[in-house]
Every structure is written in C-alpha cells, then in structure tokens.
Amino acid sequence: MQSCIVVGGGVMGGLTALDLLEQGVSVTLVERQAFGRESSWAGGGIVSPLYPWRYPAAISALANWSQGFYPQLAAELSAATGLDPEVSTTGLLWLDHAETEQALAWAKAQQQPLDTLSAAAIYQQVPQLAPGFTQALWQADLANVRNPRLLAALKARLQQFAGFTLHEQAAVSGLQQTAGRVTGVQLANGTLTADAVVLAAGAWSGDLLAPLGWVLPVQPVKGQMLLYKAEPGWLPSMVLYQGRYAIPRRDGHVLLGSTLEYAGYDKTTTAEARSSLQASAAELLPGLADMQPVMQWAGLRPGSPDGVPVIGEVEGLAGLWLNTGHFRNGLVLAPAACRLLTDLMLQRPPIIDPEPYAPARQLTRR
C-alpha cells in the first residue's frame, strides 16, 4: 500500500495518519470542519475509562497499551513540534464508590495499582474536596492529556511530512468503488483516489456507510463541559463522583464534566446543563462555587452499544477500513486503536488480538 485517504480529522484520524506516514505511506486526510475540533477537542482527556472495571476486556486491552504509550507519544510530538500535549500524571480518586470489590478484583486481574483510601487519606490527597467523603479508590499513575494541545501538536507533526495532504472544510459525500473495492472518496469539488480509505469520522461514520447498504450502530452522544480557572496546583488530582469528574490542568484550569445526552447532531450548549454541572462542581469542590466558569462547550461522542470500537477492514468492501465507535474513551484508546489498525493495514503482527474489534461483529446489512 502506497497511498491512503483518512476521513476524519480527530485523534483517530490524526494518529492513524501519523502511523502510516511513519511507515512511508502517503496520506490525504479529509475533515468536514477544522482538524481536531470535534469530539477529540471537546473531551476531558483522562487517560483511563471513567469506570474501567465496567468494560469488556477488549476495552482494557486497548486502554492498557495506550496508557503506557502516552508519555512517549507526548515526548515525541513535543520534540518534533515544540508543542507540549501536557500529559500530566495526577492520579484519580473515585469517591464513595459502591463497586469497590468489583474494581479491586478487576485491578488484580489487570495488574493495575488500584488502592483504597480512608477518609483521612482522601483529604490529605485533595484538601479542596467537600467534607463528608468516607472512602475512595485511588490510582496514582493515571494521567490526563490536554487534548486541544495534543491535537495542535499532532496537526503540526503531520504537516512536517512531505507525503501528507490536509483538506479541511471538505465534507465527504460518498465513497468511490471500483470492481467491488473502495478506491476513493467523493467531495463537492471532485474525487480523491488512493489504495485504501480509512473511515475515522466519529459520530458521522455510519452516515457514510449507509449508502453502501451497511448499518453501523454508532450515533452522536452529546457531552457538555465547564472550564474554571484556579491557581496552578489548586486541584492536585483528578476526582470522580457520581459520574461527574474534575480534571486539573497545569496552568490551574479545572475541567468539570460531563453530561450524556442523546440529542442527534445538536451540539448547542444549554443553561440546564450549565446549572447541573455547576451544582456538581460545588458539591465536589466547594471552592468552585465562588468562581464563574470561563467557558462552556459541547462535543458529540461516537456512541456505540458497548463502547467497543470497530477497527478493521469491511468484509466484502476491500480497501475500506474502519476506526470508529470509541464512545467516551476515544482519547485513552486512540494510540492503541490506531496502531492496531495500521498493523492490520500493513500486514504486521498486531499489538493485540484484533478479533473483538472486527467490523463484522457490529456491521449489519440493511
């Protein structure tokens, strides 16, 4: 394979393109809006599923590989571009959680350093917490990545390759087929062709497969978030309580998220979500109650039935590869998902067993 078109300019499309470029493949990336401004930009950037013990082993396999790779990825991007993705190992506290036994059993099986903390230890770790928490799960080695900066660094790195072409504000209207093989994409102003096409268009991926007679169970799921500005170091660790989380950035910004809304492709922010998120912020970290959020935004996650992404070639459509459906875990799964996909595309030994992600497991005919 000498050339590839990647549809979708998020972290999946970007890292897939980078992996291919590093192996000498020419890549044309097509993005319907601006590179890195959809779900990947909008997420929190926790390098872990929120409740990792609730997910199938297929999620753990991708997450574990990615967690180990993120520091290297950040260092390489920073060295090449001068843009630091800010992978910060802050640890994560799960507060007053009812699934402690299940979580500890999962951690033992996965060899993850998950501990339980007493009330005293909780407040020693995060003094800013509201009073009354009695126990917590704690994983000290978990990190968060500042995803807008990751995407900026990734875009800059891609543009350093002579074999890379970026088309922004370019919506794909269809996939081109030749003798049963996908050989390109149709744009408003013409057609692009290549040896292979990767569909990494997040919540929009199913829309592009539908005209070919395939149903992909991926749908947009809106998430709204708030951003606060505190002093650097004010919140030392990530905290999670009743599905809401607070994430510290190095410069003192604190992200508070997130809602989970099935509202189609509507990406507008709402006063109701702002009020709900502010209430969660005050309940978790009373100091935030005295601060006004500096920003509110929303993104559309590529929701899938069990959160297991689709990674691989579409059976019966040679040349068409999928990397989508990562739901709430796109950022944490991306390095492994993209490496697995490129292993399959380039016929290398895969980093993990690809079978759980095979498109045939989720695609159905209309």
Domains and CATH numbers, the chain: 3-53+149-218+305-365 (3.50.50.60), 92-140 (no CATH), 222-301 (3.30.9.10)
Calpha distance 50→267 (Å, rounded): 22
Number of helices (H), then strands (E), in the chain: 9, 21
Does residue 89 have a pLDDT over 90? yes
| 3-state class (DSSP) for residue 274 | helix
pLDDT tens for each residue of 197-219:
999 999 999 999 999 999 999 99
Tokens 């897939």 correspond to: 16
Calpha distance 118→135 (Å, rounded): 5
Calpha distance 340→355 (Å, rounded): 11
The residue length of the chain stands at: 366
Provide the Cα torsion 295, 300, 305, 311; round to 10°: -110
User: What is the model's pLDDT at position 97?
Assistant: 86
User: What is the model's pLDDT at position 366?
Assistant: 82
User: What is the model's pLDDT at position 180?
Assistant: 85
pLDDT tens for each residue of 245-266:
999 999 999 999 999 999 999 9
User: Above pLDDT 70, what percent of the chain?
Assistant: 100
User: What is the model's pLDDT at position 7?
Assistant: 98
Mean per-residue pLDDT for 141-167? 98
